[in-house]
Amino acid sequence: MLSIFFLWINIVLCPVAGIILLLRRSYTISMLFFILAIFSLSGLTFIDLQSLQHPEQLFLWRKYGLFFEAITVLSCYFHTKTAFRDNSEIYKGYGFWISVAVTLFLLAYIIVSPIQNLLFSPDFVEEKIIFLTESGFVVYLLLMIFLVFGLVQLERTLAGLHQTERWGIKLKVLSAGMVLAIFALYFSHSLLYRSINMNYLGIRSVAVLIAIILFCYSHMGRVTDNRLALSRGIAHRSFVLLIVGGYLILLGVVGEGLRYLNVDDARLLFYILSFISILTLAIVFLSERLRRKLKVTLHKNFYQRKYDYQEQWQNFANRVAAGTTLTEIQTSILSFFCEPLACKGAAFYLYDFDLSSYVHTASFNFRRDWRPFAESDPLIVTLRQKDWIINLKENHLELRNSLIESFDDIGAFLVVPLFFDEELTGFIVLGEQINSAEELTYEDYDLLRMLARQAIATVQGLRLSEQLSTARELAAIGKVSTFVLHDLKNQVSGLSLMLDNARDYIDDPEFQQDMLETVGNTVVNMKALISRLKNIKEKPELVIAAVPLDKIIHDAVETSSAKILVEGISALVAVDEEEVYKVILNLLVNAVEATGHDEPVRINFGHNKGFAFVEVCDAGCGMSADFMENKLFKPFETTKKHGFGIGLYQCKQIIESHAGRIEVKSTEGEGTTFTLFLPLAVERFLQ
């Protein structure tokens, strides 16, 4: 009668639980599979009840019952394969499609095959046992394989999650595992004795009842917003074989003991004790606190060293390599710091030079108001002086009035200093431990120091790389600005000379005409400079065209507004007119400044041996041989008091980009001659 009562509870409870889960609107793939398993369980339980109450119609009911058993097992299997993980890649694996193919084949075979070909029961009314044919044995063997792989999937799911994520889903995993385990127990006779014993339906009903209650409680009471994702390459660490082996040994010992004691209803009592022991074991292994205590006990009594440093280093390197940004890498480092000591969260603080304080830069499951730590904070002073890992559970008088005292409400546990180049670059605050009674040893502190050195080296390297990139950008901007200022200086020099001459010749109509032309040319050149700045590139492209050499020279002479003696024979040159104009103008301005406004500057031009040449001669102070050999044409080297030192460097770059060259002859106290060699247009365009 008790078994019938639990069967009726299953028939009523399963649809109610399925409807509740549907109303929660959690329509993930794994949830839909579990809901399908719940409704299928209700139908299966109703069919089993009818089989017990109407044994004369056994084969009629078992035809549907076998189908619902397969639906229940297969739904639970696909639930475990898709639950609590990222399913974006699951459809690309061969294993998934093999399981789908076997599922479709199995369901089709059950539907098509006559039930008498799968099972028989000559005395069902008295024994409630159904025997299997060869084909029926194969069907239940396949179902048992799906059950075992489902349990393996659940264990792999738990092994791949972070310990702080297991709390939210462990009851769901336990409930799904209970359904799979009870069906594995129920089907065990099919493999051992080639029979199905329906006397165990009561135990199956109790297990299903507990599993559904746990699942619904977890789904409604432990909601997690995070979508948990597992790596496809996670190692197949599994205790399933160990559990199965221990279960079989325990099964044999208890069964033999009950038979020896000749206890009434020994078989039913045996399965009840087995179910309770398995449930207790599952609860123990799902408790993070108990797992942590067991791990510490094993380390103390069975291992020479608590940590495998090679493994720790490899895991740390893999975790850091997975990050793409500085924030992601810091978060990965924090999660790795939490694992050895089973801490619930952590926070990263780094020194900010602009604020002159230690500011929060990243966190992992650690929430509070992120006020910065001043350099005068007692915590910072203590870390700088002692370079110790501070255990906040201990009494530290030197930390009074520190901002770290406000971390007590969130259970801050440890402060790990991060030193780089003997300077306190930052620190990590670790949150409360899962097992708060665990005591730390010197090995824990050694591991944290090792991780701290590697962590700050990685983070500081990225920070310095970002600063170097910023410095390079600023240097590039400064370089461009210097060239722009130099061009502006040349334009202003021409206007300045014109203004000086205007005081004496402003009433001369010819001078007025020259003045207007000079101002016009300057405006055109300034507009051209602005246009180039809008489309500036690291290496600007030259606009080569055939241009009369005398035109470029006369434009530069007019812009300079100085006394220039021009003499020569013109030729067509293949150059960028604007760039060569800037070179000649720069040489003229330098020559005028070297000789003074009263001394004339000479320009000779012509062509010889396939090249056009331009000579700019002055009678100025000249240059020493050492300066010409070691400093001339180098950036930021100059003999002028207010010069930028980039004019001749820029001239050399422009001429060489035209496949030309620039030569210089100079004697101290006598003067200097610069000679430009430019390609002729005929030679350039005939090639």
pLDDT band at residue 301 using 50, 70 and 90 as cut-offs: very low
pLDDT for the residue 412: 85
Q: Which CATH number do you get for residue 44?
A: 1.20.1070
Q: How far apart, in whole angstroms, are the C-alpha atoms of residue 133 and residue 360?
A: 69
Separation in Å, CA 481 to CA 254, 476, 484, 486: 89, 9, 5, 9
Question: CB neighbours of 607 closer than 8 A, spacing ≥ 6?
Answer: 569, 571, 613, 680
pLDDT for the residue 417: 92
CB atoms inside a 10 Å sphere around CB 62: 23
pLDDT band at residue 479 using 50, 70 and 90 as cut-offs: low
Token pair belonging to 606: 């012509």
Residue 468 falls inside a structural domain? no
- Tell me the β-bridge partners of 348: 362, 428
338 and 368 housed in the same domain: yes
Taking the model in full, what pTM does it have? 0.40
DSSP assignment letter at 535 = T
Tell whether the model's pLDDT for residue 540 goes beyond 60: no
pLDDT band at residue 204 using 50, 70 and 90 as cut-offs: confident
92 and 39 housed in the same domain: yes
Tell whether the model's pLDDT for residue 296 goes beyond 60: no
Is residue 358 a contact partner of residue 426, using CB atoms and an 8 Å limit? yes
pLDDT-above-70 percentage for the chain: 73
676 and 592 housed in the same domain: yes
pLDDT band at residue 486 using 50, 70 and 90 as cut-offs: low
Residue 474 falls inside a structural domain? no
Q: 3-state SS of 180-193?
A: HHHHHHHHHHHHHC
pLDDT for the residue 230: 40
Residue 367 falls inside a structural domain? yes
Residue 115's nearest CA partner among 80, 165, 63 is: 63
Least confident of 371-375, 450-454, 501-505: 501-505
More confident residue, 534 or 397: 397
Residue 22 falls inside a structural domain? yes
Q: How far is CA 265 from the centre of its chain?
A: 60
Residue 585's nearest CA partner among 492, 523, 478 is: 492
Domain boundary among 250, 268, 286: 286
Question: CB neighbours of 189 closer than 8 A, spacing ≥ 6?
Answer: 195, 196, 197
Q: How far apart, in whole angstroms, are the C-alpha atoms of residue 363 and residue 563?
A: 71
589 and 633 housed in the same domain: yes
pLDDT for the residue 358: 92
Domain boundary among 385, 407, 440: 440
pLDDT in tens, 500-512: 777 777 778 877 7
pLDDT for the residue 614: 94
What 307-314 contacts at long range (C-beta under 8 Å, 24+ apart), as own/partner pairs, is 307/340, 307/443, 307/447, 309/447, 309/450, 312/340, 312/447, 312/450, 312/451, 313/454
Tell whether the model's pLDDT for residue 17 goes beyond 60: yes
SS3 429: strand
pLDDT for the residue 445: 82
The answer for 59, left when phi > 0, alpha when psi is -120 to 50, beta otherwise, is alpha
Residue 678's nearest CA partner among 665, 660, 664 is: 660
CB atoms inside a 10 Å sphere around CB 591: 26
30 and 173 housed in the same domain: yes
Is residue 10 a contact partner of residue 205, using CB atoms and an 8 Å limit? yes
Domain boundary among 224, 248, 270: 224
Is residue 685 a contact partner of residue 574, using CB atoms and an 8 Å limit? yes
Tell whether the model's pLDDT for residue 228 goes beyond 50: no
**407 CB-side CA count, 13 A:** 28
Residue 323's nearest CA partner among 425, 222, 185, 461 is: 461
218 and 322 housed in the same domain: no
pLDDT for the residue 673: 92
More confident residue, 129 or 567: 567
45 and 8 housed in the same domain: yes
Least confident of 439-443, 463-467, 479-483: 479-483
Residue 303 falls inside a structural domain? no
Question: CB neighbours of 606 closer than 8 A, spacing ≥ 6?
Answer: 568, 569, 571, 612, 613
Residue 220 falls inside a structural domain? yes
pLDDT for the residue 225: 42
Is residue 587 a contact partner of residue 666, using CB atoms and an 8 Å limit? no
Residue 366's nearest CA partner among 400, 393, 337 is: 337
118 and 207 housed in the same domain: yes
Residue 405 falls inside a structural domain? yes
pLDDT in tens, 22-32: 887 666 788 88
pLDDT for the residue 152: 80
- Tell me the β-bridge partners of 666: 672
Q: What's the domain count of the chain?
A: 4
Q: Which CATH number do you get for residue 349?
A: 3.30.450.40
What residues make up the domain containing 606?
483-686
Residue 483's nearest CA partner among 654, 669, 259, 260 is: 654
Separation in Å, CA 312 to CA 61, 214, 304, 308, 448: 58, 36, 16, 6, 11
pLDDT for the residue 539: 45
Is residue 595 a contact partner of residue 601, using CB atoms and an 8 Å limit? yes
**418 CB-side CA count, 13 A:** 24
Question: CB neighbours of 23 closer than 8 A, spacing ≥ 6?
Answer: none
> Which residue shows structure tokens 């210097």?
482
Is residue 131 a contact partner of residue 120, using CB atoms and an 8 Å limit? yes
pLDDT for the residue 160: 62
Token pair belonging to 566: 């021009």
Over residues 160-165, the mean pLDDT reads: 61
216 and 248 housed in the same domain: no
* DSSP H or E run through 258: helix 240-261
Q: What is the DSSP string of 185-252?
A: HHHHHHHHTSEEEGGGHHHHHHHHHHHHHHHHHHHHHS---SPP---TT------HHHHHHHHHHHHH
pLDDT for the residue 606: 92
**618 CB-side CA count, 13 A:** 24
366 and 399 housed in the same domain: yes
Question: With 0-12 CB in 10 A as exposed, 13-18 as middle and 19+ as buried, what is 389?
Answer: buried
320 and 255 housed in the same domain: no
651 and 512 housed in the same domain: yes
pLDDT for the residue 304: 45
Residue 555 falls inside a structural domain? yes
Over residues 358-379, the mean pLDDT reads: 85
